[in-house]
């Protein structure tokens, strides 16, 4: 077999002409000297015409069929060196019924006896071109969606454990050189406390085909700490094994932070609500018992005729009336705490406030021989509502003296401490203490008393806690019976 | 039917001095109960009940307030359940409180040693019924 056998050169011209006319391609020829053009049957068919239905001419092609915008492209593809690959141009041609359609055009130059001839082939590539355009659009859109939603996608090939990232993944990682990473390297960007969670999630997804959806804290290559959401879905083979783990990865930092803020204000509201409800319940209970006693005494007053009985009953009615006023006073005090929060804070000296309180309680301190040690050197001043600090100190000091141990004189240590931006005050006594196991959760409750002490009203620590918490602080108690009690107040 | 009236001793466990005074006064005026034992909290009552010196003077009925220092009504109920079998007498327990909280009422009614939950101020007629039923045990009624 000669090497030339595969060529058409041996065929008759008529045979080749028949092939050219029947083939589903448009073939054309143009003589640049004579300006004569030839179009194959396929050329007409490609444009939706019957052969000869339109004028076969250079001008018709250029001025009517070729989309004006593509003229340059087409011309450029005809000026090419005679050797080498023939250039391909994508051009739009006007068809009879379907408007402009995309065609691929290949051009060759050839010298004949009649002069230089350009010939070429056009193929309809409209479907292909449109799907390419659509694919490019879809790619662009999904990239845009990813960028706008800060949503990246990734894939782990289970066999090799190779990890593939979408462009947006690298944006979230802030890795602009787009390195290839292993799964472990990628997990390394997750904050240490969340690493077990994500490692387990991936393991479970691969081993047990369990999809996951987790929220993690993540440190980007540029050291920005953000919240991300990682979702993984296993892709199974016919045997039900996970062959690919595919997922999305989203920067949810702003949403998450809003959520956290919202949750913390919900918690605060919840706390306040519970306290108010508890308060309302306690007040109503307290008022109800006074009202009940009042009714009881009035009834007895009516039932008895004895003068001495009536005198005694009336003295009780007076006591009830005083108790009712006291309860109303407590109510006022608690309502005032809430309304006073808006009062101006001032920079005040602990020493000054303590001296005020000590002078108010002077008689009690003297009569019990209480020894009070203060150390405000670590934090001598605080930005606080003066009346609150005075009230807090006074309540704690009153309690420390009231619940002193019968066998020893009271020793009270008060000190302030600054830890970062927070200011703590500790208040320690050597009094009778509180049984924390029994009363630990009730120490700051309203009308809760734990000792048989006639002047215990169970209001002081309730007020103290409300004042501390109203200014965003907290109070804790630790106590041992017969040893003493220590209050730790986080003021700010 | 003539029956010899039994001597009925009641115990009141309450830290509220005014209520305690009123309860004592009312029973005197109405001629209810032959003797009243007063305790200002649950612990005092438990200590009394467990003291062998008092074994001949145990109450027939105990009225137990809920809110009290040292040992409150709930703690007393639990403590009483523990010591009940050691006592030589069947003692009826009523909880008394001014709390209208449904949880409190349910809690008292669910307590096996508690016969009933009485709201303060105490209903005279009901107190009279309790006294009568204890004085004449044949006339046992349930109050709920």
ipTM score of complex: 0.81
**Helices vs strands, H then E, count in chain A:** 15, 17
Mean pLDDT of chain A: 87
Taking the C-alpha atoms of residue A250 and residue A406, their distance in angstroms, rounded to an integer, is 65
pLDDT at A1 over 50: no
Task: Show which of residues 254-283 on chain A sit within 8 Å of chain B, judged by CB atoms.
Answer: 281
Residue A66 pairs in a beta bridge with A93
Task: Show which of residues 11-70 on chain B sit within 8 Å of chain A, judged by CB atoms.
Answer: 16, 18-19, 21-22, 25-26, 29, 40-41, 67, 69-70
> In the prediction, which pLDDT does A457 show?
65
Provide CB contacts within 8 A for A311, sequence distance 6+. none
| Cα–Cα nearest to A19, from A44, A48, A45, A42 | A42
Put simply, whether A490 touches B (Cβ < 8 Å) is no
Report pTM. Answer: 0.52
Put simply, whether B137 touches A (Cβ < 8 Å) is no
Count of positions (residues) in chain B: 144
pLDDT in tens, B62-104: 999 988 888 889 999 999 999 988 888 889 999 998 877 788 8
Residue bearing the bigger pLDDT, A95 or A283:
A95
Put simply, whether B122 touches A (Cβ < 8 Å) is yes
> In the prediction, which pLDDT does A387 show?
83
Taking the C-alpha atoms of residue A292 and residue B18, their distance in angstroms, rounded to an integer, is 10
Helix axes A350-360, A386-402, angle to 10 degrees: 50
- A97-to-A101, A450, B129 alpha-carbon distances in Å: 10, 98, 107
- A183-to-A179, A205, A210, A241, B74 alpha-carbon distances in Å: 13, 14, 18, 19, 59
Using a CB-CB distance cutoff of 8 angstroms, which residues of chain A are in contact with residue B98?
285, 288-289, 292
Tokens at B78, concatenated: 């639990």
Mean of pLDDT values over A48-74: 90
pLDDT at B143 over 60: no
pLDDT in tens, A210-225: 999 999 999 999 999 9
> In the prediction, which pLDDT does A11 show?
67
Answer yes or no: do A303 and B99 touch at CB < 8 A.
no
Nearest chain A residue to B44 by CA: give it: A452
């Amino acid at each position: 077999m000669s090497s030339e056998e595969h060529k058409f050169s041996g065929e008759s011209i008529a045979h080749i002409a028949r092939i050219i006319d029947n083939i589903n391609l448009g073939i054309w020829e143009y003589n640049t000297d004579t300006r004569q053009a030839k179009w194959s049957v396929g050329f007409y068919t490609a444009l939706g015409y019957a052969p000869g239905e339109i004028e076969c001419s250079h001008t018709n092609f250029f001025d009517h069929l070729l989309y004006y915008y593509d003229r340059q492209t087409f011309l450029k593809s005809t000026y090419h060196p005679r050797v080498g690959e023939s250039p391909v141009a994508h051009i739009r041609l006007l068809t009879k019924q379907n408007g402009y359609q995309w065609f691929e055009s290949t051009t060759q130059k050839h010298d004949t006896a009649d002069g230089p001839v350009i010939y070429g082939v056009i193929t309809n590539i409209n479907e292909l071109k449109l799907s390419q355009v659509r694919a490019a659009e879809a790619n662009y859109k999904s990239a845009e969606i990813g960028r706008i939603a800060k949503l990246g996608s990734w894939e782990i090939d289970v066999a090799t454990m190779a990890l593939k990232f979408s462009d947006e993944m690298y944006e979230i990682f802030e890795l602009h050189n787009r390195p290839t990473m292993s799964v472990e390297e990628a997990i390394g960007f997750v904050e240490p406390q969340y690493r077990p969670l994500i490692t387990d999630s991936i393991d479970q997804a691969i081993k047990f085909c369990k999809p996951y959806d987790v929220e993690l804290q993540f440190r980007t290559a540029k050291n920005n700490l953000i919240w991300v959401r990682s979702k993984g879905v296993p892709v199974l083979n016919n045997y039900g094994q996970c062959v690919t783990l595919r997922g999305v990865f989203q920067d949810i930092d702003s949403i998450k932070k809003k959520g956290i803020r919202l949750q913390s204000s919900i918690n605060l509201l919840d706390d306040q609500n519970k306290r108010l409800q508890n308060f309302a319940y306690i007040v109503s209970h307290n008022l109800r018992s006074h009202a009940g006693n009042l009714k009881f005494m009035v009834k007895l007053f009516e039932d008895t005729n004895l003068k001495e009985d009536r005198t005694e009953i009336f003295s009780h009615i007076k006591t009830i009336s005083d108790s009712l006023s006291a309860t109303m006073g407590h109510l006022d005090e608690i309502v005032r705490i809430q309304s006073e929060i808006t009062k101006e804070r001032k920079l005040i000296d602990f020493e000054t406030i303590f001296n005020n309180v000590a002078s108010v309680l002077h008689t009690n301190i003297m009569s019990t021989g209480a020894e009070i040690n203060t150390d405000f050197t670590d934090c001598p001043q605080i930005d606080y509502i003066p009346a609150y600090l005075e009230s807090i100190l006074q309540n704690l000091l009153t309690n420390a003296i009231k619940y002193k141990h019968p066998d020893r004189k009271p020793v009270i240590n008060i000190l302030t401490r600054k830890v970062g931006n927070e200011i703590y005050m500790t208040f320690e006594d050597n009094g009778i203490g509180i049984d924390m196991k029994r009363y630990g959760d009730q120490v700051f409750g309203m009308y809760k008393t734990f000792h048989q002490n006639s002047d215990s009203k169970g209001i002081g620590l309730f007020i103290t806690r409300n004042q501390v918490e109203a200014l965003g602080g907290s109070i804790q108690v630790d106590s041992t019976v017969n040893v003493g009690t220590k209050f730790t107040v986080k003021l700010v | 039917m003539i029956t010899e009236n039994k001597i009925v001793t009641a115990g009141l466990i309450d830290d509220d001095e005014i209520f305690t005074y009123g309860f004592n006064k009312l029973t005197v005026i109405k001629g209810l109960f032959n003797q009243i034992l007063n305790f200002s909290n649950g612990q005092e009552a438990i200590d009394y009940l467990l003291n062998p010196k008092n074994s001949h003077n145990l109450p027939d009925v105990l009225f137990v307030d809920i809110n009290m220092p040292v040992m409150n009504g709930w703690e007393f109920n639990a403590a009483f359940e523990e010591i009940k079998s050691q006592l030589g007498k069947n003692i009826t327990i009523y909880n008394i409180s001014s709390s209208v909280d449904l949880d409190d009422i349910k809690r008292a009614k669910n307590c096996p040693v508690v016969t009933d939950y009485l709201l303060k101020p105490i209903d005279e007629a009901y107190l009279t019924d309790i006294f009568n039923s204890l004085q004449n045990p044949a006339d046992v009624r349930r109050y709920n």
